[in-house]
Chain A
């Protein structure tokens, strides 16, 4: 069997007395799309944020291509420098886009190439322009975020991540803050990325995306990973009553 791109083992996370992640085990296969679904507050965003150590996990291991992230050894934190090095190859897209409002679309994408990868300004801008063209925003490069729609902002955020040439992309509810008519353009960009063989972990409420694009779907509830399987089995023939309940509520809410 091929080695995992991300290997999550017995991960626990506490917020004070609240047990947010409970002994979570999950293997993310390389070149595949893994969707994390579940009710809000189930810990899926927390788990995703632990993968690039924006959120610190308290015990267990998360390995990216075999390398432990966040810790040198259990209980001993990794140096900031090493952590930054690992983060360079992990792209992240946020629910609220989090573009830098004082920079143009091009500036947002080029920023990491100049400040983190050390490219010259000219080369960074050329690559940034390529990344923006890829998400269909070649004509909006000079716009500041305030002059872009939510869908366009999120596509700039995706361009900002892919310009860094990551090995792994994390998406934290990338379409949840968007007006419904803008969801499609963002999902299409993500589908293209998936088609190119990018390893992706996506926290989402878009069951359609999970059903059609994901290679595996993981269901979480109350900090526990309840089940991982193919989208067909999780979404259409779930065995666990908790998954059945979640999907029933989802279908009821989305039927009219």
Chain B
């Protein structure tokens, strides 16, 4: 082991980790947002839209992220979609995550008892209000563990962005390895950073879950 190289590469690694965290946060937020829109369109949209969405979900889920990213980054310019590495990477993550998030939301919505929706309809509440006041808050509670779980999976998918030269942690680690041949050290650093990130996410997720389910659990 030769840890002294960290002095030289430390700043680059930290910058890389910063980019990784940024990609993860934005990719998760955008992916969740798109997934939510998809799940709502599936629930309330016309049937033909549902079929299109189903096809989208099957295609994205059925192909590797690496391939999707290549198609987007190298195939995009052929149809006039010219993106820099970082925006392309974020768009890729968003698209890749959206069908999984959509399925998680869909099952969360299904877990909301129909009677609670009917009760809202019976007093004359409009459907968008029902979504906002009843379906979303209750559906999100059921979906939360799966949402946290998939966001953790997404952290590790960010390493693939290095392939299209997004300067995130994997990219910096590869550079360090090829320049110094210190593969083991470089990858241990990578592992350590990811472990810290994932541990933080799951702790925050658990705390958040405990808070929002506080009133839903029967304690008589």
Contacts and interface: CB of A to CB of B under 8 A. Distances in A.
B54 interface: no
By size class, the interface of chain B is 20 to 34
Given A54-B122, A116-B129, A160-B119, 20 more contacts: A54-B118, A84-B126, A86-B124, A87-B124, A88-B123, A90-B122, A91-B122, A92-B122, A92-B123, A94-B118, A98-B119, A99-B116, A100-B116, A100-B133, A100-B134, A101-B216, A112-B124, A116-B125, A146-B218, A149-B220
A159 to B, nearest CB: 12
Given A115-B133, A116-B125, A96 B141 contact: no
B219 interface: yes
B124 A102 contact: no
A12 interface: no
Nearest to A84: B124
27 contacts: A54-B118, A54-B121, A80-B126, A87-B122, A87-B123, A92-B122, A92-B123, A94-B118, A94-B119, A96-B113, A98-B118, A100-B116, A100-B138, A101-B216, A112-B125, A115-B125, A115-B129, A116-B123, A144-B216, A146-B215, A146-B216, A146-B217, A146-B218, A147-B220, A160-B119, A160-B123, A161-B123
B137 interface: yes
A202 to B, nearest CB: 15
Contact of B119 (A88, A100, A147): A100
A102 B113 CA distance: 13
A105 B137 CA distance: 17
B54 to A, nearest CB: 25
B127 interface: yes
Contacts, number: 79
Interface of A: 52, 54, 80, 84-88, 90-92, 94, 96, 98-102, 111-112, 115-116, 144, 146-147, 149, 157, 160-161, 164
Given A94-B118, A147-B220, A102 B215 contact: yes
A161 to B, nearest CB: 7
Contact of A112 (B116, B118, B123, B220): B123
Chain B interface, >50% SS class? helix
A160 to B, nearest CB: 7
A171 to B, nearest CB: 12
B80 interface: no
